[in-house]
Amino acid sequence: MYPNRFNSYSNSAQHFIDKYDGSLPFAHFIKAQFAENKKYGSKDRRWIAHFCYCYFRVASALLGSEKEIAIRIAVYLCSDDLSEYDAIFDKHWFDASNLNERIEIIQNQFPAFNWVHSFPFLDKLSDKIDKETFQISFLQQPDVFLRVRPQKLEIVKKKLKKVDWNYHWENEYCLRIPPNIKIEEYFEINKEVVVQDYMSQSIAQYFPDIPVKSYFDCCAASGGKAMLFHDYFPDVFLNVTDIRSSILNNLKKRFHEAGITFYTANVMDMATPISKDPKRKFEFVLCDAPCSGSGTWARSPENLSYYTPSDIEEKHALQVKIADNAIRYVQNGGYLLYITCSVFTQENESVVSEILKRNNHVVLEKTGYLFGAGKRADTMFATLFKVTN
Ligand SMILES: C[S@@+](CC[C@H](N)C(=O)[O-])C[C@H]1O[C@@H](n2cnc3c(N)ncnc32)[C@H](O)[C@@H]1O
């Protein structure tokens, strides 16, 4: 890349970063900005967005630095391929053979760069999370993963023989694919493949080890986990709810595409106290609770600059209310699976402790993190409880 081109992208990135106020996801913001500013061609848009995202990945380690310098450092730390930047970066920057060495080079050269601060919520992080791997994972954009629907494995493999891009099987059904692939040009989405993070797919490890007969997904959103469950237990009727009717419309569209008809979807607020014991109970209740999403922030690194930690307290309170209610829907001998895509103790281990403290008929079967950092995937937390009345 020529210096003048680099400067021009850097200036545009600074303009958009300064204009952004964190009130909506950066991806939506930048898309709207580009739609308003027709002067940017598709190549310019790609570079400017890359520079902005690089900046957000390391901004907290560079507080007080000039934006121009911060962007230069950020692009160095966060770009997979440095060969583009021959004319821009200092010669010795190319001596690094891995990300740790890149960090060291910058640390030595710029005293204002404080890597420890790159993730500003370290005090909230669960002690089960490997801090170093987690922090470094923010320097790279996570990959895209597809879950191949079980009965579609053969057709997907056949179609893959004709693609000219690289892919990698993480396991029998999980396919890692390069970013920016127009998936719909190759596969029937939801019918053949579901776009679902590797660790989100791996949640199936926490499904009860029994032939489940009834299922209730109480925070179903657009149905990612419900579809996963369906592919393991195809004969089970799906009862799904969410507080938002708009997201249930997405679920209905996806279920239609997936050929799932054996379900009901209803709006329900799971945080409202339940006065009477629910009439209908289920063998398996899945509660993928609303959370900070901090295990997915390598996909939305603007959160490192704009997330307000007081939100964690509110989320904790909401999660306890929802999980407490969800337990009431579990039949005797059945299971509750509590899930978040958070890495914060308060949303995970603390909620689990609260649940156990408040419900002495509930026992912990299995708990842990599905750690995607270092694998260019998200991180999830899951706990399976057994409920005996
Ligand atoms: C993490 S998302 C669920 C993701 C989903 N399970 C999936 O795999 O696609 C959490 C969902 O909880 C819903 N939610 C938030 N507060 C709720 C409440 N009080 N009652 C029920 N659902 C709620 C949100 O609307 C959101 O769709």
Tens digits of per-residue pLDDT, 29-46? 999 999 998 899 999 999
Q: What sign results for the dihedral spanned by CA atoms 72, 76, 81, 86?
A: positive
198 C-alpha vs ligand 1 centroid, how far in Å? 20
Q: Using most ligand atoms within 8 A of CB, pick from 195, 219, 244, 380 the residue to mutate for ligand 1.
A: 219
Is 341 catalytic? The answer is yes
pLDDT category at 315 given cuts 50, 70, 90 is: very high
In this structure, is residue 25 part of a structural domain?
yes
Tokens of 373: 């950092």
Atom of ligand 1 nearest to the CA of 242: 22
pLDDT category at 324 given cuts 50, 70, 90 is: very high
Residue 288 is assigned to a ligand binding site: yes
Q: Are residues 250 and 374 in the same domain?
A: yes
In this structure, is residue 125 part of a structural domain?
no
Measure the CA dihedral 188/191/192/194, to 10°: 90
d(CA 17, CA 24): 13
Q: DSSP of 49-76, one letter per residue?
A: HHHHHHHHHHGGGGTTS-HHHHHHHHHH
d(CA 219, CA 241): 6
Among protein residues, the one with the nearest Cα to ligand 1's atom 12 is: 219
Q: Are residues 182 and 227 in the same domain?
A: no
Q: Are residues 156 and 286 in the same domain?
A: no
Atom of ligand 1 nearest to the CA of 321: 19
pTM of the model: 0.96
Residue 95 is assigned to a ligand binding site: no
What does pLDDT average to over the chain?
Answer: 96
287 C-alpha vs ligand 1 centroid, how far in Å? 8
CATH code of the domain containing 206:
3.40.50.150
Q: Are residues 222 and 342 in the same domain?
A: yes
Q: Are residues 94 and 191 in the same domain?
A: no
Question: Where does the chain show beta strands of DSSP type E?
Answer: 144-148, 168-169, 174-177, 193-195, 215-217, 238-242, 263-267, 282-288, 330-340, 362-370, 380-387
Atom of ligand 1 nearest to the CA of 225: 8
Q: Are residues 88 and 160 in the same domain?
A: no
Measured from CB, residues less than 6 Å from any atom of ligand 1 are: 219-225, 242-244, 247, 269-271, 288, 290, 322
Q: What is the pLDDT of residue 230?
A: 98
Q: Are residues 60 and 150 in the same domain?
A: no
In this structure, is residue 139 part of a structural domain?
no
Q: What is the pLDDT of residue 190?
A: 98
d(CA 151, CA 155): 9
| Structural contact between residues 326 and 287, judged by C-beta atoms closer than 8 angstroms | yes
pLDDT tens-digit series, residues 192-245: 999 999 999 999 999 999 999 999 999 999 999 999 999 999 999 999 999 999
Q: 301, 294, 268, 313: which is closest to 378 by C-alpha? A: 294
> Do the bridges between strand 330-340 and strand 282-288 make them parallel or antiparallel, or are there none, so unpaired?
parallel
Among protein residues, the one with the nearest Cα to ligand 1's atom 4 is: 221
351 C-alpha vs ligand 1 centroid, how far in Å? 16
In this structure, is residue 136 part of a structural domain?
no
d(CA 323, CA 338): 7
379 C-alpha vs ligand 1 centroid, how far in Å? 17
In this structure, is residue 130 part of a structural domain?
no
Residue 242 is assigned to a ligand binding site: yes
d(CA 221, CA 75): 35
- Count of residues making up the chain: 389
Q: Are residues 182 and 209 in the same domain?
A: no
| Domain residue limits at 164 | 144-195
Atom of ligand 1 nearest to the CA of 290: 10
Q: Which amino acid is at 215?
A: Y
48 C-alpha vs ligand 1 centroid, how far in Å? 33
On the question of pLDDT at 2 being above 90, the answer is no
In this structure, is residue 261 part of a structural domain?
yes
Strand partners, 288: 339
d(CA 201, CA 224): 9
Of 389 and 94, the structure prediction assigns the larger pLDDT to 94
Q: Are residues 327 and 243 in the same domain?
A: yes
Q: Using most ligand atoms within 8 A of CB, pick from 200, 241, 242 the residue to mutate for ligand 1.
A: 242
On the question of pLDDT at 342 being above 80, the answer is yes
On the question of pLDDT at 275 being above 90, the answer is no
Number of Cα atoms under 13 Å in the Cβ half of residue 49: 19
pLDDT category at 110 given cuts 50, 70, 90 is: very high
pLDDT tens-digit series, residues 149-202: 999 999 999 999 999 999 999 999 999 998 889 999 999 999 999 999 999 999
| Structural contact between residues 45 and 37, judged by C-beta atoms closer than 8 angstroms | no
Q: Are residues 79 and 186 in the same domain?
A: no
| Structural contact between residues 344 and 125, judged by C-beta atoms closer than 8 angstroms | yes
d(CA 126, CA 134): 11
ipTM of this predicted structure = 0.99
Q: Are residues 219 and 171 in the same domain?
A: no
54, 219, 291, 341: the catalytic one is: 341
In the chain, the number of structural domains is: 3
Q: What percent of the chain has pLDDT over 70?
A: 100
What is the phi/psi pair of residue 129, to 5°? -95, 130
